Amino acid sequence: MTVLDHRPTATPAPFTRPANRPLLALAALMAVTAVVTAVLAVVDPVQIVGRNGWLKPLKFAISIGIYAVTIAWLLDRLPERRQRAGRIVAGVITAALVVEIVIITGAVAAGTTSHFNVSSPLATTLWATMGTAIAVVWLVTLVLAALLWRSPDDAARQLAIRAGLVLGLAGMAVAFLMTTPTPEQLDGFAGVAGAHAVGVPDDGPGLPLLGWSTTGGDLRVPHFVGMHALQALPLLTLALEALARRLPALADPGTRFRVVAVVSGGYAALLALLTLQALAGIPVTEPLGFLG
C-alpha cells in the first residue's frame, strides 16, 4: 500500500468527545468576549499606545475562539487509545488561554498595556505569567502534533494536518522574537521590553483594526499567517474533497495529495519571506521591498 492510497476510516462525529468540551466552552466564552469588547470599543474607545485599547482583547478573543474550535476538530482525529492524552491537551490549552485573555482584558480595563509591560512588579509578573501561558500552549500543541503525526485520514488530509501543525507552531514561535528588547529600549529603560514592530515604534501608523505597521517591519504578520495554517490547510483538503464531486481529477487521492503538497510548500515559503521581511524592517504594505 502506497502513501497515496485512500483508506477510508470511520471518524467520530465532530466535537462529541469529552476532550472537546473545555475547548468548546472556551470558544463560547471567546464569542461572548468578542461581542462585549466590540461594544466597548465603540462606547468606551479608551486610547492605549495610540490605538483603541479594546481592539486588542477583541482580536485575541476571535483568534483564541478559532484556535479552540480547530484544536477540538484535530482532537477528533485521535484514536481511542490516545483520548486521555487528548483530554490533558484540551485542559491545559483551555486553562492557559483563559489566563492570557483575562490578563489582556484586565490590562485594558485598567487603562494600560499587557504585552512587554515591565513598568512595575505587578505588570512584570502579569507579563511573565502571560508569556509562560503562551509557551505552555506552544509546547502542548507540539505534543498534539506528535500524537496526530499518524492520523487515520487519507494522504492529503494527513499531510494537511501535519503541515498545518508544523507551520502553525512556526508561526506561534515568531512571537518569541517580539520579546527581545529593542536597541532603543536597552539605551533608555522606560518600562517596556519587547515590540511588535521592527525599526519603528509600536505606536506608529498601522493598518486599520489589525494595527500592523505601515512604516516598518511587523512580526505580527508572519505570526498571524503561520498560526492560521492550522485552519487554511485542513480547509483546503475539505474544499478539494467537495470539488471532487464536480471535478473528476480531484477524485484521485494522489491528485489531492499533490495539490496539498504544493500549497503547503508555497505557504512555508510565504511564511519564511514574511518573517525575513519583518526582521528587515520592511512594512507589509511593501511586499516587493524585500527584493529591493
Domain definitions of the chain by residue range = 17-151, 153-292
Q: Please name the amino acid found at residue 128.
A: A
The three cell numbers locating residue 56 = 486588542
Rounded to 10 degrees, the C-alpha dihedral 166/57/178/193 comes to -150
pTM of the entire structure?
A: 0.86
Q: 66-88, pLDDT tens digit by residue?
A: 999 999 999 888 887 888 888 99
Q: 102-157, pLDDT tens digit by residue?
A: 999 999 999 888 888 888 899 899 999 999 999 999 999 999 999 888 766 788 99
For residue 7, which of 234, 246, 257 has the smallest C-alpha distance? 257
In this structure, the strands spanning 51-52 and 47-48 are antiparallel
